Amino acid sequence: MAEELRAANELALAEHLFDALGAVRRQVRRLTGRPWPTAALSGAQIELVRLVRREPGIPVSTAAEALGLAANTVSTLVRQLTDAGLLRRQADPDDRRVAQLHVTAAAQRRIEGWRDHRAELAAQALGRLHPADRRAIEEAVPALGRLAAELQATQRTEPEGAG
């Protein structure tokens, strides 16, 4: 019985977490928009550009693993984003068969301007919160990172199409 209650509480917490994170993301998106119009790039393309910005030189295979996508899917996204002038491929100097990915200078400027605006709006809102709420958010950030790592580990152990 205690285990069932614990599982029910964890399920409720997960749903509240997704509701809260979704509300924050939607409000930030309303205030800042996106670095590119949503019609211009798919969600997967945006995620790939964000990943490459965080990890310049990342190989396609590593990007595919990080995004939970097939390598051929990421290769298609890379071709589309290269054609759009947002990413560039560069041969790995140690293994010319491996393509390293980089964000173009123009895309980098646009992303950084958007990111800075988004961070500034969030920082202002955080500054208006009660100190206890701000502390709770500050303390929750590392735990959210660990939750993301657990979800990523689950993704690696789940069979394709499970869930």
Q: What totals of helices (H) and strands (E) does the chain contain, helices first?
A: 6, 3
- In the chain, domain spans: 1-32, 33-157
Looking at every residue in the chain, the average pLDDT score rounds to 88
Class of the 33-157 domain?
mainly alpha
Closest CA to 48 of 30, 26, 65, 29: 65
Q: Write out the H or E segment, with its range, that includes residue 63.
A: helix 60-67
Condensed to tens digits (0 to 9), the pLDDT of residues 14-68 reads 999 999 999 998 898 888 876 665 557 888 898 899 899 999 999 999 999 999 9
Contacts of 127 (CB under 8 A, 6+ apart): 134
CB of 118 within 8 A of CB of 32? Answer: yes
Instruction: Find the largest Cα–Cα distance for the chain.
Output: 59
Overall average pLDDT of the 116-145 stretch? 94
3-state secondary structure of 97: coil
Q: Give the pLDDT confidence score for residue 156 in this predicted structure.
A: 66
- Binned at pLDDT 50, 70 and 90, residue 159 comes out as low
Amino acid symbol at 60: V
Residue 86 gets which letter from DSSP? S
State the residue for tokens 């924050």.
24
